[in-house]
Amino acid sequence: QKEVEQNSGPLSVPEGAIASLNCTYSDRGSQSFFWYRQYSGKSPELIMSIYSNGDKEDGRFTAQLNKASQYVSLLIRDSQPSDSATYLCAVLAYSGAGSYQLTFGKGTKLSVIP
């Protein structure tokens, strides 16, 4: 069973601060990594995808991937109250016989305090 681990939180940061969300995964052969944001009662929406080691920036969001450490993170700069949501890490790995498995972490709840 492939595992994706996230701190459940809640993670509380003041408005304007940097929020750091972390995710570790068990399958060293994992290929694709995604961060989704989910507001309460709503469907997940994609924030970032990352496929190779290093940093990827998109506006206030930066995803960082370290395959050697099996670690992926999401940084949110200048956090806003509207960023308050649950953030889901998802990892795609090949599971053999032409099959792939996309595993989600249980999510980290972020609260941005005005």
Partner 1 sequence: EAQVTQNPRYLITVTGKKLTVTCSQNMNHEYMSWYRQDPGLGLRQIYYSMNVEVTDKGDVPEGYKVSRKEKRNFPLILESPSPNQTSLYFCASSLTVGQPQHFGDGTRLSIL
Distances (CA, A) of 36 to 3, 65, 68: 17, 15, 23
Min dist. Cβ of residue 26 to partner 1 (A): 14
108-113/11-14 β-pairing: parallel
The angle formed by the CA atoms of residues 71, 6 and 59, to the nearest 5 degrees, is: 70
Which token pair is 58?
């998109």
Q: Which is nearer to partner 1, 73 or 108 (CB)?
A: 108
Q: Which is nearer to partner 1, 47 or 112 (CB)?
A: 47
Min dist. Cβ of residue 4 to partner 1 (A): 9
Q: Which is nearer to partner 1, 15 or 94 (CB)?
A: 94
Q: Where are the alpha helices (DSSP H) in the chain?
A: none
Residue that is written with structure tokens 């109250």 in the block: 81
CA dist 20 and 11 (Å) reads 9
Q: Which is nearer to partner 1, 70 or 95 (CB)?
A: 95
Min dist. Cβ of residue 83 to partner 1 (A): 19
Name the residues that contact partner 1, by CB under 8 A.
Answer: 1, 31-32, 34, 42-46, 49, 51, 88, 90, 92, 98-107
Min dist. Cβ of residue 38 to partner 1 (A): 9
